[in-house]
Amino acid sequence: MHVTILLCLFVTWLAPSATLAGIRDTKHNLSAFGPGTIRAEEETRICIFCHTPHHASQTAGVLWNRDDSTVTYLPYQSSTLRAAVGQPTGASKLCLSCHDGTIALGELLSEPAEVGFVGGVRFLPPGASLIGTDLSDDHPISFHYDAGLATQNTELADPATLTGAVRLDAFGQLQCTSCHDPHDEAFGKFLVAPLQGSALCTTCHQKTGWSSSAHATSLAMWNGSPPDPWPHTDLTTVGENACANCHRSHGAASTSWILNRVTEEDNCLVCHDGGTASTNILADITLPFHHPVELTTDVHSSDEDPTFPMAKHVECTDCHNPHELTNTQAIAPGASGPLKGVTGVNSQGQGIESAVYEYEVCYKCHALASMSSPPINRQLLETDKRLQFQINNPSYHPVQGPGVNMNVPSLLAPLTEASIIYCGDCHASDSGPGAGGTGAAGSHGSMYPYLTERQYNTLDGVAYNASLYDLCYKCHSETSILRDDSFEEHEEHLEEDISCSACHDPHGVSSTQGNAINNSNLINFDLTIVSPDPGSGRLEFEDTGQFSGRCYLQCHGEDHSPEDYGN
């Protein structure tokens, strides 16, 4: 009895915040009177399962009453990890003497025989408390957290500021005890700070823009429809769960960034399936045309350089930074809140840390030839959208800046010749707000080819119906087009079942392709419909002035050698 009192006085000195009474009511009380299901059959001493005043470990210090595990652990690694993580040391090794499942709970240095446990239990059963020897799915431990590391990763707190509940050990290493106090259960799971709002995580991880981000401030709650987005917490809103929405510090399903779920997009879609978030992204990516986030796993990395060729892939985090995104809107071409903090490629082809314009996010994939293939066999093939949208081109839709043509009578108000549009004005969910629906905004998925927000027919010979060109008529007046305000043969061509796409390339004609086409009307012929004029061998629309020009081509068996339009 006297030994127990003396030992507990030592433990109280070791951790001033802890008291014997506090330990008695926690699962770390493994004595016969402990409150948990794992407890000794007869042993009534509490502190003995970790500490002893006699026959203590010669290497561990703190009067440690257990052997060190001799196993080799598999440490955590990731492509973005800057710390050098090796084998567990210090306090972490002491914790693992129980939690790795290699040394019996009752195997104590001070006792001649192993202490027996109720039900014959010798080791922690499978579950959250059993860490095991594979630490690749756990938050890294036993690494030096110094100013150099914080300089390499600017989103880590300066270690000199870690003087509160979260602390490094005497050697400047982060250990299990940086987050857990084995003597104090006040915050649950022996944590030194609350999980709510990820107060514990954000002590060290000071992600840019996190505190004002949508995920940090959201009051959204799960509606109870499976799957449960937070089976490992008791918190009830997105904002309360914070980091735990996607991450799990122990026993993560994915060893890349300790994610809750193996496939990257599932960590997003478990909330964005209509059960928690207000919009249903899952519904969009099951549509025939969508960004195929499901096709690749463990290809994306947050440190990838989009200006260099890489494996073709797309993941949610290629377009969205979950730590920084907001719900704020913007004016074209500015990047809106959901794109905040995402890397990009600017109009000069340079990689940038945070996209300023929406098109810079799109250019990460759609300005790389390896990422795109031409859907239509056009006269001039160009898969690099960055080159097609350059404002020194002969023609382009006004994505990077106002268009070339300053006289476009078909434009619908409030659009003018000075207007700038988003890529997402054409490529977006067919049920989203741009299409007059209540679905998710953004280019997640559509029932229409090319992931267009509205129907855009590119096939030849389909009987004209205005709905076939809903996408075009979103900005351009059908009345004006059929009235031939800007081209005297628009109506005739449409009535002959020739699609807009037969002549117009909706992205633009790159100046790098030469001056093979002299125009200001996005003319770039579809070679499955149009062929060169047999007489001259020319395939060209020649601009001869405002609303006038001449064609050299053959279409539907009719030669244009040339055919003049307008004045």
Please tell me the least confidently modeled range out of 17-26, 28-37, 170-179, 490-499: 17-26
Exposure string over 130-158, b if 16+ CB within 10 A, otherwise e: ebbeebbbbbbbbbebeeebbeeeeebee
Q: Which residue has the tokens 């979950």?
A: 322
Please tell me the least confidently modeled range out of 49-58, 267-276, 292-301: 292-301
Any domain includes 290: no
**What pLDDT shows up at residue 371?**
60
**What pLDDT shows up at residue 370?**
58
**pTM of the entire predicted model:** 0.90
10 Å CB burial of residue 515 (0-12, 13-18, 19+) is exposed
Distances in whole angstroms, Cα of residue 238 to Cα of each of 137, 223, 230, 324, 340: 23, 12, 9, 14, 19
**What pLDDT shows up at residue 21?**
63
Higher-confidence position of 302 and 530: 530
Residues 217 and 147 in one domain: no
Q: Is the pLDDT of residue 154 over 80?
A: yes
Residues 30 and 119 in one domain: yes
Radius of gyration of the chain (CA): 32
Residues 143 and 73 in one domain: yes
Any domain includes 300: no
Query: pLDDT per residue over 480-536, tens digit each?
Result: 999 999 999 999 999 999 999 999 999 988 776 545 555 445 789 999 999 999 998
Region 297-326: mean pLDDT is 85
Region 401-414: mean pLDDT is 94
Strand partners of residue 117: 40
Residues 376 and 446 in one domain: yes
**What pLDDT shows up at residue 462?**
97
CB 244 within 8 A of CB 233: yes
Question: Closest Cα to residue 510, out of 402, 406, 413, 384?
Answer: 384
Any domain includes 81: yes
Any domain includes 420: yes
Region 451-457: mean pLDDT is 98
At 105, list the tokens.
Answer: 């709970």
10 Å CB burial of residue 522 (0-12, 13-18, 19+) is buried
Any domain includes 391: yes
Residues 268 and 382 in one domain: no
Residues 186 and 214 in one domain: no
| Number of domain units in the chain | 3
CA angle, 490 then 495 then 498, to 5°:
75
Please tell me the least confidently modeled range out of 163-167, 197-201, 303-307, 364-368: 303-307
Any domain includes 291: no
Residues 443 and 506 in one domain: yes
**What pLDDT shows up at residue 520?**
47
Residues 467 and 529 in one domain: yes
Residues 450 and 528 in one domain: yes
Rounded Cα distance, 412 and 403, in Å: 15
Q: Is the pLDDT of residue 15 over 60?
A: no
Q: Which of 278, 311, 330 is the last residue of a domain?
A: 278
Query: pLDDT per residue over 228-241, tens digit each?
Result: 999 999 999 999 99
Q: Is the pLDDT of residue 308 over 80?
A: no
Region 138-149: mean pLDDT is 97
Question: Quick one: which H or E segment has residue 94?
Answer: helix 90-99
**What pLDDT shows up at residue 382?**
86
Rounded Cα distance, 279 and 166, in Å: 37
DSSP string computed for 49-74? GTB-SSS--TTT-TTB-SPPP-PPPB
**What pLDDT shows up at residue 20?**
59
Percent of the chain with pLDDT over 90: 79
Please tell me the least confidently modeled range out of 15-24, 87-96, 131-140: 15-24
**What pLDDT shows up at residue 38?**
96
At 378, list the tokens.
Answer: 């056009």
Residues 182 and 247 in one domain: no
| C-alpha torsion sign, points 247, 252, 258, 263 | negative
Any domain includes 390: yes
Q: Is the pLDDT of residue 2 over 50?
A: no
DSSP H helices in 255-412: 264-269, 281-285, 316-319, 358-366, 385-388
At 188, list the tokens.
Answer: 């649950």
Q: Which of 220, 245, 278 is the last residue of a domain?
A: 278
For 450, which DSSP code?
G
Residues 110 and 34 in one domain: yes
The SS3 call for residue 11 is helix
- Structural domain for 250, as ranges: 210-278
Query: pLDDT per residue over 356-368, tens digit each?
Result: 999 999 999 998 7
Rounded Cα distance, 177 and 90, in Å: 10
Distances in whole angstroms, Cα of residue 193 to Cα of each of 179, 189, 231, 248, 483: 8, 10, 21, 16, 70
Any domain includes 325: no
The SS3 call for residue 35 is coil
**What pLDDT shows up at residue 296?**
87
Rounded Cα distance, 157 and 141, in Å: 16
Q: Which of 223, 249, 278 is the last residue of a domain?
A: 278
At 366, list the tokens.
Answer: 């759609």
Residues 234 and 273 in one domain: yes
CB 18 within 8 A of CB 12: yes
